[in-house]
Amino acid sequence: MISNKPMFDRFFRYISIDTQSSEEETQVQPSTQKQKDLAAILYAELQELGAEAFYDEENGYVYAQLPGEEPALGFVAHMDTSPAASGKDVKARIVEVYDGTPVILSEADAGSGRPAVILDPADFPELLAHQGEDLIVTDGRTLLGADDKAGVAEIMNLFAFYAKNPDVPHRRLCLAFTPDEEVGRGTEHFNLEKFGAKEAYTVDGGKLGELEYECFNAAAAKIEIAGKSVHPGSAKNQMVNAAALAVEFHQMMPAAEVPEHTEGYEGFYFLEEICGDCENACLKYIIRDHDRTKFENRKKTVQNITAYLNEKYGAGTFRLTLRDQYANMAEGMKDHMHLIERAKQVMTDLGVAVTEVPIRGGTDGAALTYMGVPCPNLCTGGYNFHGRYEYASVQEMETCAQMLIRLAEI
């Protein structure tokens, strides 16, 4: 059962707001104006708590501070949800005292031919570790939004606790809620001065006990293919089928170096999107590797395939756009391991088993670390991010919230 009702009231309120970011809009931030709907609510709530809050309405960032002892400690979470699945009209419910059996998120709909959506331990064995806990799930039609509104709610709980208990000694607290983290632009207009902390934690992880201070080097690749549409009946030696060329490009990529065949420190190429017809086609990849040299070689692989196919089919047939998104934060964390040791001690004191894992993804903390604010990543209690099977553990979220309060103690 929920013991921290105010925090979960916040969480359910936040996930009801659609804040999905967009990879298509790259010229302005936030990439979707609806992210500001949540930003405005958070800004108002922080003002009600008596925090010194600032809302960068133009770029969609929210900052706040609570007075306390120096040095300041910051916490960061992102407001947007992934473009990979809808975040509109999220319908969440709590499965009380989960018993280890499959959870039917939505029944099959014979009229539309839509199959049932089932959260099944056979597919997600981690579920069995949550027997006896209360799980927050969706109706199987949207993601939940725990990534990262669980982190947002836990940080807001931290500020609410110390705002209501000003006599409890604590460090000066700083927070930042960012837009567009899911599309690799979360720190594009981050204001370090408004943030106010020289060291911080992102609260953007998953399983309770996971502590992350290494991440992928990351890039995005977009390959646009120009074809030539001719009637199939008279196409010999004239037609250039862009859709077929897209398939040819992808078949030249390393088949085993994909997310579904890699783990740990192994990098990958992920085909996020493929679309097109005879006239035009497009491939979108994300490229990831913890090792910098291997990462650069991965980008060269994409460049070499593009060059080879342009030589084969004519210059300009394939147009590649490569964009670095973030770098591995491990190098920047080496001189700030006290943040890791402090987090480990707090988790241990709360009876949590600590697991140090490399992030198979990235957070705003990676970019902030290279901006001079060391920023490892903490767990939130959410699972199966970026899809309709996403869920969160009530008990783990409550423990994560306690963890933040302990970290802020003197």
Catalytic residues: 80, 181
Asked whether the beta carbons of 204 and 214 are under 8 A apart, the reply is no
d(CA 363, CA 378): 10
- The DSSP call for residue 371 is T
Asked whether the beta carbons of 248 and 352 are under 8 A apart, the reply is no
Residue 55, beta-bridge partner list: 62
Neighbours of 403 (CB within 10 A): 25
Q: Which two tokens stand for residue 197?
A: 């902390």
Closest C-alpha among 179, 175, 181 to residue 161: 175
Asked whether the beta carbons of 295 and 287 are under 8 A apart, the reply is yes
| Strand duo 103-106 + 355-356: pairing | unpaired
Closest C-alpha among 121, 98, 126, 138 to residue 15: 138
Peptide bond into 277 cis (omega under 30): no
- Residue 269, exposed/middle/buried by CB under 10 A (0-12, 13-18, 19+)? buried
Q: H or E stretch including 177?
A: strand 171-178
Residue position matching structure tokens 């010194």: 52
Secondary structure (DSSP) of 384-409: STTSTT-EEEHHHHHHHHHHHHHHHB
Neighbours of 398 (CB within 10 A): 19
Peptide bond into 30 cis (omega under 30): yes
Asked whether the beta carbons of 265 and 236 are under 8 A apart, the reply is no
Phi, psi (degrees; rounded to nearest 5) at 324 = -70, 140
